[in-house]
Amino acid sequence: MLDQYDPCWWNGSLCSYPPDLEVLDLSNNQLRSLSPSLFSLHGLHKLILSGNLLQQLPVEVRALQLLTKLDISGNRLESLPSELFNGCLELREFNASHNYLRSLPKEVGALTKVCRLDLRSNSLEELPCELVQCSGLYGGGLHVLHLLANFMYSI
């Protein structure tokens, strides 16, 4: 029995998150959109949104500047906001596999610290030439680049 009525906890909704949260795993739910309060978690290091029903990623994701891991695999994304790559410069692991991505913004080249980039099972036909700006392609940190099951004709 509830001692107090709190509409923030009614029907599984959260109005805010703990401010010091570093890891948030919201995978395998039925999320179609993301709460604006999510983007006020400036100390967040890992955000896992895999296995949901997201069709777009809000541009506000750029506010999560300390993210080192972002997993948006297994959603319904057809594109990614360029702001993601300009704001989340600390990303080391980025998984956007199993979506419907047709292209990547050229700003992906700003991910100079990325060491694992998973783009499997999308609809990519080509990669932006800016991808070579990622330090890993010139002896830096990119160790894994998954491109399996896309529609690429040349690299």
Structure tokens at 103: 């292209």
- In this prediction, residue 15 carries a pLDDT of 62
User: CB pairs under 8 A, 24+ apart, for 1-10?
Assistant: none
Inside any domain, residue 6: no
Inside any domain, residue 118: yes
- In this prediction, residue 45 carries a pLDDT of 98
- In this prediction, residue 32 carries a pLDDT of 97
- In this prediction, residue 5 carries a pLDDT of 38
Determine the structural domain holding residue 124 and report its residue range. 20-146
Inside any domain, residue 153: no
- In this prediction, residue 4 carries a pLDDT of 39
- In this prediction, residue 18 carries a pLDDT of 81
Pair 24, 44: CB distance under 8 Å = yes
pLDDT tens for the chain, 155 residues: list them.
Answer: 333 334 454 455 556 678 789 999 999 999 999 998 899 999 999 999 999 999 999 999 999 999 999 999 999 999 999 999 999 999 999 999 999 999 999 999 888 899 999 999 999 999 898 887 775 555 566 789 999 999 998 77
Rounded Cα gap, residues 74 and 97, in angstroms: 6
- In this prediction, residue 90 carries a pLDDT of 94
Rounded Cα gap, residues 87 and 47, in angstroms: 14
Looking up residue 25, the CATH number of its domain turns out to be: 3.80.10.10
Inside any domain, residue 132: yes
- In this prediction, residue 129 carries a pLDDT of 86
Domain total in the chain: 1
Q: Is 110 exposed, middle or buried (0-12, 13-18, 19+ CB in 10 A)?
A: buried
